[in-house]
Structures are given as structure tokens and as C-alpha cells.
Amino acid sequence: MSVDTSPRSTTWTHVEGEWLSGNPPLIGPTSHAMWLASTVFDGARWFDGIAPDLDLHCQRVNRSAVAMGLKPVKTAEEIEALAWEGIKKFDGKTPIYIKPMYWGEHGSAGSVVAVDAESTRFALCLFEAPLGGNGGITLTVSPFRRPSPETAMTDAKAGSLYPNSGRMILEAKKRGFDNALVCDMNGNVAETAASNVFMVKDGIVYTPIANRTFLAGITRARVIGLLRQEGFDVREETLTVEQFKAADEVFTTGNYSKVVGVKRLDDREFQEGPVARKALELYMDWAHGRSASEE
């Protein structure tokens, strides 16, 4: 039986000057991206008529392309304008995921393993995706770890990093958890398998220091700034699993679901925390323009 390749929600993709619906066939079996994983992407969100930090996501995908050895063929401003054009193709009700992407079509002369920057291709894919995270999530400590920048392309939002995240999530789900708390190669907490992570202890907010083993996200930075402006003491430090298990509350941040509380970490139960609730409130107020002075 053939696999159904149609997308699971309404989807529009801009490529080479035109908008295409569904899941257009863009990569073939000889494409460098399909064979040797020369792909980068980014993800922004549209909901309630707004697209928070869309400009920063468009800028970051170009930085990721350079880190991968690709050649950005669109400016961040061009990508942002295309995103707003694509948003108009939807019903204006369901939240949208905005995914700019670069990939390599050919290998370089003399070494097919290395991508040929001149063969870089670009697409912008938008699809309906409701915001998730309601009710909180459960985490377990993963037996797998984040790579260091010496061993993987951690300075890019590269597709090649995500199979490692995928196996973390699958392993966690086999043990009855939603996601996994992941350590770096030194055994310190980095993030979850799919988002950045925070903990609160005695009123102080902590998050793992950005050490290039994980993507220090745009939503993470936004939440740190908003909490500090509200008067919270937010510290970026090297943190252990034991500190997270002894925390008063734990929550995650990420573009896909924004701020989500953690209700269990292995055998430690957590109540919905006031700091997580406040972080989400501050973020949504900022995003909707209710705190214009914080922009």
C-alpha cells in the first residue's frame, strides 16, 4: 500500500515564485537534502491576527543556512513579507505554523558529502496547527543526550538534529511520559526534547545557560525579558537534574506552544505554578500589544 503524502491540515507552500497547496514534491532521491540532510528551517506562529517575533524567526533561518554551508537566497524581510502574504490564504481562525526552509540540491565538486552552496533552494510552508500544551505535560529524564558543537551542527536549526529529539520522545512515550528532560554531554540539563525549560525555586527563576548544545530559543529570550521587566529574578545557570526535581515548579517555552507547565518529572509531581501562569500572561499581553512599552 502506498503512503498518503497529503498534509494533515490545510497547507500552503511558496516556492520559486508561486504558492502551491498541499504537499508539493520538491525533493528527489538525488537531492543532497534527502540523501545527506542539508536542511535548515525555522518556525514562527500566527494566531489571533498576530505573528509574535516573526521578524526574528526570519532572521534566524538565514543564520542557520549560513551555519549549514548554504547560501540564503531571500532576505529576512522578503521572507516576512511572504509569510504575511501566505497567512491571507487561510480562514483567519485556526493558528498557523510558519516554516521557512532552506536545503541543498547538490553536493560540492570533489566531495558530494559537502553541500554546494550555489544549489541552495528555499521554500516557505504554512500550515494549520492549534496551539498545544493545555493542562501541562509530563517529563522523564532521557537516557540520550544533546551533542556538543564539536559533534553536531548545534548552531543551526538543522533538520539533522531532530531524529535525536524524536528518539528521546519515543523512548519517553514508551514509559508513559509526554516528553523528556535532556542533558548535555556533561550531564547537566539542556532542555526538553522539544523546547527550552525553566525551573523556579524559592521565587527565583532559573533556566539552563546557553552553552551551544541546544537552541536558546526566541520565545525563551522573550519570556526571560518579560519576567525580568516584571521584577522576577531570572538566572541562566548550569543546572542539574536533581535541582529540577527539587524545584517548586517547572515549565517550558517554545514557539509551538509558547509557555507550558510541567505537572510531573519522573516520580515528582508538580502543581500548576504561578510563575508559569504569569509568564504566559505576560507573553500574551506583549504579543497582543497590551504591553507596548515592553516591545
User: pLDDT tens across 116-161, in order?
Assistant: 999 999 999 999 999 877 789 999 999 999 999 999 999 999 999 9
Per-residue pLDDT tens for 7-26? 999 999 999 999 999 999 99
pLDDT above 60: residue 292: no
Q: What is the mean pLDDT of residues 77-101?
A: 97
Provide long-range contacts, Cβ within 8 A and 24+ apart, for 61-65: 61/100, 61/101, 61/102, 61/157, 63/156, 64/40, 64/102, 64/155, 64/156, 64/157, 64/158, 65/40, 65/102, 65/120, 65/156
Per-residue pLDDT tens for 219-241? 999 999 999 999 999 999 999 99
pLDDT above 60: residue 29: yes
Ordered by where they begin, the domains of the chain are 11-128 (3.30.470.10), 137-288 (3.20.10.10)
Q: Which three cell numbers stand for residue 143?
A: 537516557
Q: In whole numbers, what is the pLDDT of the chain averaged over residues?
A: 96
pLDDT-derived band at 293, boundaries 50, 70, 90: very low
* CB-based contact 64:139 (threshold 8 Å): no
pLDDT of residue 135: 82
pLDDT above 90: residue 105: yes
pTM, rounded to two decimals: 0.94
